[in-house]
């Protein structure tokens, strides 16, 4: 266990950040799954901006790498264009 106040605070803050990151990452993965199952181009195009925003938020907070975010968004856009 940590002996310093600052180390104890860091443990608490890391845990709360871990839980928040886990929730946001899982929510984004579910949204990605949902948009990939859509077969209507108009509906997928309408949902794309919100999913892209979620992906950008994860990249900004370093939950996922910037290149992975770009790759995910690009793949989604290609999929939507093929519909």
CA–centroid distance for 17 within its chain: 14
pLDDT, residue 37, reads 95
pLDDT, residue 66, reads 97
pLDDT in tens, 19-71: 999 999 999 999 999 999 999 999 999 999 999 999 999 999 999 999 999 99
**CATH code assigned to 5-82:** 1.20.58.110
The whole-number average pLDDT for the span 2-19 is 94
pLDDT, residue 5, reads 93
Closest to 80 (Cα-Cα) out of 32, 42, 28, 50: 42
pLDDT, residue 3, reads 87
CA–centroid distance for 61 within its chain: 10
Enter the tokens of residue 61.
């907070």
pTM (predicted TM-score): 0.86
């Amino acid at each position: 266990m940590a002996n310093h106040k600052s180390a104890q605070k860091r443990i608490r803050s890391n845990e709360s950040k871990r839980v928040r990151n886990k929730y946001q990452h899982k929510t984004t993965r579910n949204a990605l799954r949902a948009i990939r199952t859509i077969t209507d181009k108009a509906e997928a195009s309408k949902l794309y901006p919100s999913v892209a925003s979620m992906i950008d938020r994860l990249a900004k907070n370093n939950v996922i790498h910037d290149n992975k975010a770009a790759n995910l968004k690009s793949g989604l856009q290609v999929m939507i264009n093929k519909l």
